[in-house]
Amino acid sequence: MSFTQSVSTHSARQDFLEAPLDRAHAESLQRQLYQRLKEGILKGQLAAGSRLPGSRALAETLSVSRNTVTIAYEHLISEGYVRADRKGSTVAALMRPVQREAQAENNAPSRVALRLSRIRSSPARSDTSTALRPGVPSLSHFPLAVWRRMLDRAVREASPAELNYGDPFGQAELRAAIAAHVARTRGVHCEPSQVIVTEGAQEALMLCVRLLTNPGDTAWVEDPGYRGAKAAMHAGDLRIVPKRMDEEGLHVGAADWRSRTPRLIYTTPSHQYPTGAVMSVARRLALISDARKHGTWIIEDDYDSEFRHSGEPIGAMQGLVADAPVLYVGTFSKTMFASLRLGFLVMPPRLLVSAQDALREMLRGGHSHEQLAMAGFIESGQFARHLGRMRRLYRERQHALRGALTRHLRVPHIIEGGQGGLHLAVRLPRDFPDARIAEAARQYGMAPMPLSSFAMAPALEDNGLVLGYGNTATELLDPLVKRLSQLVLTAGG
Ligand SMILES: Cc1ncc(COP(=O)(O)O)c(C=O)c1O
């Protein structure tokens, strides 16, 4: 017989289609036919766009029931190999899989999007030594036994419904506990409905970029500044413009605002990361006012402000004036522990109205037991107790670190920061290259970060070390700094 479709002469295609099926085979006839057609499509024997024979005709040719052909066709249609329309069944246009030989030849790394190739990871990211590493809280002081009780209780008391997707914005109990906590400790003005629980500050930063920017928009960042924020902005294909700080924090003036208006400004006003500068109230008010005038959003990353050691406590920018154009980002990575991956974003009410539909589709909620345990930890007063203990410990450690630097560091240096947080920045003369010192320190299990690695456009004074004291035992600080000071001298020699 001849098919009325695209094949009119006897051809390889026809041979392929008409070859009898094996009735003795363990696979059913419909399965064999499905496999044959699928293979033919993948290998290009059945060309994209060509029509398959009608089910009645093919059934006759193969001496099988029409049902056998129909089921095989339906299977192919459901998997997208074949398209069905009123006239019959057509082979879909598929990308043919690359041949194995060709794959083996191509050992080049796969290309990622250009915007991601702009993100550079620091070598220290992958090593596990934590002595002097900035940003790590004291892991051995975390009250694990209390936390375990909170988790047990959360699992015991939660209903089976808690095993389903959570509220995309987070567990109501935790959102309420966060809203009350940041109001009390940071002067943040918000309703629980404005709080979105995130997977650490990093997810909050990524969300800000996704919600507020289009590729190519301009963002201002502090320079030197937090690498995670820049990674989030690169991933959003933003044009990142570095801005300098002085002793009053981020310094932008009328000339900056006259150039391309930023869509976003990222800042760590209460404890600049990594220099430790604190933005003055005058600067905060000016920034809010200018941002409002230009339709710019400010991301306030308040990552470690719970640990204030000296100076006047300054509340968050978010609560400084009513309806500030500020998205407030917080994290439990410093106050609890980083692997908990809990942070939060406080949205301005008018932004929440426009963004909530998109957010509800983009987020999935989850980690409900951890979120409920965290809410219990805050509400029971355990969180405040832990913070109080840690504040005393970090004050003591910072004091020990300063003492050790004074005793051992024999090159001119300036210690910066220290009003709060878990790290100090030590600026060094540029003939003592910071990257070389940090590299040498890794051989001794220390992980200070080179100050220059935080800068997009490093200035001469951006040579130095960022030293974390959060997770380094007080009694180790002196011998470690002694060793580090020797490495500084060697690097300069
Ligand atoms: C400036 C800054 N923001 C945020 C974070 C915390 O990020 P996450 O909550 O994603 O762990 C850090 C941690 O190092 C940080 O240094």
* Residue-wise pLDDT tens digits, 446-487: 999 999 999 998 899 999 999 999 999 999 999 999 999 999
The residue whose CA has the least distance to atom 7 of ligand 1 is: 201
Whether 335 lines ligand 1, by a CB cut-off of 6 Å, is: no
Segment 269-296 mean pLDDT: 96
N residues, the chain:
493
Paired tokens of 26? 């363990």
CA distance 310 to 393: 14
Question: Distance from the CA of 301 to the center of ligand 1, in angstroms?
Answer: 8
For residue 415, what are its two tokens? 């210690």
* pLDDT score, position 115: 83
The half-sphere exposure of 262 on its side-chain side, counting CA atoms within 13 A, is 24
**Interval 365-393 mean pLDDT:** 97
74-110: b (≥16 Cβ within 10 Å) or e: bbbeeeebbeeeeebbbbeeeeeeeeeeeeeeeeeee
Q: Which two tokens stand for residue 68?
A: 């056998």
Q: What is the pLDDT of residues 317-331, one digit of tens each?
A: 999 999 999 999 999
The reply to whether ligand 1 has any atom less than 6 angstroms from the CB of 383 is no
Q: What is the pLDDT of residue 126?
A: 63
Model confidence at 170, in pLDDT bands (50, 70, 90)? very high
Mutate to test the pocket of ligand 1, among 273, 278, 423 (most ligand atoms within 8 A of CB): 273
With 70 as the cut, is the pLDDT of residue 6 above it? no
Is the CB of 135 within 6 Å of ligand 1?
Answer: yes
Give the residue, by CA position, lying nearest to ligand 1 atom 14: 135
Distance 201 CA to ligand 1 centre (A): 6
Q: What is the share, in percent, of the chain residues with pLDDT greater than 90?
A: 78
Determine the Cα–Cα distance for residues 447 and 430; give it in Å rounded to an integer: 20
User: Residue 159: how many CB atoms within 10 A of its CB?
Assistant: 7
Q: Which helix (H) or strand (E) holds 356?
A: helix 349-362
Ligand 1 atom 13 nearest Cα: 135
What is d(CA 75, CA 95) in angstroms, rounded to the nearest whole number?
19
Atom of ligand 1 nearest to the CA of 331: 9
**CA–centroid distance, residue 12 to ligand 1 (Å):** 63
How close is the Cα of 115 to the center of ligand 1, in Å? 22
> Cα-Cα-Cα-Cα dihedral of 359, 364, 367, 368, to 10°?
80
User: For the chain, which domains are there?
Assistant: 12-91 (1.10.10.10), 141-380 (3.40.640.10), 385-492 (3.90.1150.10)
Q: In the numeric block, which tokens belong to residue 331?
A: 């994290």
Strand order in the sheet with 464-468: 414-416, 423-427, 464-468, 449-450
Q: Across the strands, what pairs with 173?
A: none
pTM of the model: 0.81
333 Cα to the center of ligand 1, angstroms: 7
Ligand 1: which atom is nearest the Cα of residue 204? 10
Spatial contact of 427 and 461, defined as CB atoms under 8 Å apart: yes
Point out which residues pair with 102 in neighbouring strands. none
Does position 190 have pLDDT exceeding 90, yes or no?
Answer: yes
Pocket of ligand 1 contains residue 202 by CB under 6 Å = yes
Looking at every residue in the chain, the average pLDDT score rounds to 91
